[in-house]
Amino acid sequence: MDLYGKMAATQDVRGKAEGGDQNFDYMFKLLIIGNSSVGKTSFLFRYADDAFTSAFVSTVGIDFKVKTVYKNDKRIKLQIWDTAGQERYRTITTAYYRGAMGFILMYDITNEESFGAVQDWSTQIKTYSWDNAQVVLAGNKCDMEEERVVSVDSGRLLAEQLGFEFFETSAKDNINVKQTFERLVDLICDKMSDSMDGDPAATTGAPTAKLTDSAPPLQQPSCNC
């Protein structure tokens, strides 16, 4: 089993061993990252609580919410981490990249600077996360068409170049929010399945030292999520 399999197994075992909610088959750790004020917190609130408020409150450090989804009769618990976009919190937020299986990298279609920073955020993922982490690029605030400064094509092209999936989203109008998370979960599940299939390239892939630090006793998860 490769590291990806280990990760899923790790999360699963931990949840049961420590007396938490046992009603899940997998737990995925996801992170939402991107520049300040692109709408990360609103995006998470829309997905987890189906709520939206236009008042902007800058996130302090880091926060998270939990949501359970179902896929092929498997219960998947999503631990979704909402990170502060401001530079001053970078030390604390990057510490939480470790062990993340998926990222939503967000920019604001009305803010050129946030789009320009996507490449830097992508580098942060490569630096602090592990190679198999899946990433979806999300161009948020697509309800604000009149203030758009980043075209759909630019977003799509950049996503292709970086090897990410791409969505334009709106937390306000609830556009593609659920789809973004569902696609990320699909990508993670696909990656897990590939790993379980015994792809020699995958299984021999050298895991990062950081991730193996806490590698638990192996357990074969029946990965058909």
Partner 1 sequence: MGQEISFPTSNPFNDPTFLSTFKIPSRWQPTFETKSYPSPSIFATLRRARIPKPNDFIPLFGDCISVASTRTQEFLVFKDPENKFHPGSEVLTQIFLMTYITQSVSLNLINNFTCTAMTPEQRILLGADWVWALLDKPSKTPKIQIAVQVLHLHEREEAEDHTCGQETYRESMQMAQRASSNRNMHEKMVDFCTSIGKDCYALFLFFGKKNDRENIYGVLSNNFEAANGKYHRFDRTLIENFFRGSRYLHTPSGMMHAIISKRRGDPLTLMIKFS
Contact residues for partner 1 (CB under 8 A)? 14, 18-21, 36, 57-58, 60-66, 79, 86, 88-89, 91-92, 96
Q: CB of residue 135 vs partner 1: minimum separation in angstroms?
A: 21
Q: CB of residue 141 vs partner 1: minimum separation in angstroms?
A: 18
Residues forming beta bridges with residue 62, ordered by sequence position:
83
Q: CB of residue 224 vs partner 1: minimum separation in angstroms?
A: 25
Choose between 86 and 208: whose C-beta lies nearer to partner 1.
86
Choose between 14 and 126: whose C-beta lies nearer to partner 1.
14
Choose between 62 and 69: whose C-beta lies nearer to partner 1.
62
Q: Which amino acid is at 204?
A: T
HSE of 162, CA atoms in CB hemisphere, 13 A: 25
Determine the Cα–Cα distance for residues 106 and 19; give it in Å rounded to an integer. 34
Choose between 52 and 64: whose C-beta lies nearer to partner 1.
64
Q: CB of residue 167 vs partner 1: minimum separation in angstroms?
A: 26
> What six digits make up the tokens of 188?
């993670």
Q: Report helix, strand or coil for 170.
A: strand
Choose between 100 and 158: whose C-beta lies nearer to partner 1.
100
Q: CB of residue 96 vs partner 1: minimum separation in angstroms?
A: 8
Q: Which class for 145: exposed (0-12), middle (13-18), buried (19 or more C-beta within 10 A)?
A: exposed
Alpha helices in 60-165 (DSSP H): 90-95, 112-116, 118-128, 152-162
Q: What are the residues whose beta carbons fall under 8 Å from the beta carbon of 165, sequence distance 6 or more?
A: 135, 136, 137, 159, 183, 184, 187
Q: CB of residue 20 vs partner 1: minimum separation in angstroms?
A: 5
Handedness of CA 125, 131, 132, 138 (dihedral sign): positive
Choose between 153 and 213: whose C-beta lies nearer to partner 1.
213
Choose between 10 and 122: whose C-beta lies nearer to partner 1.
10
Q: Where are the beta strands (DSSP E) in the chain?
A: 26-34, 62-71, 74-83, 102-108, 134-140, 165-168
Q: CB of residue 172 vs partner 1: minimum separation in angstroms?
A: 20
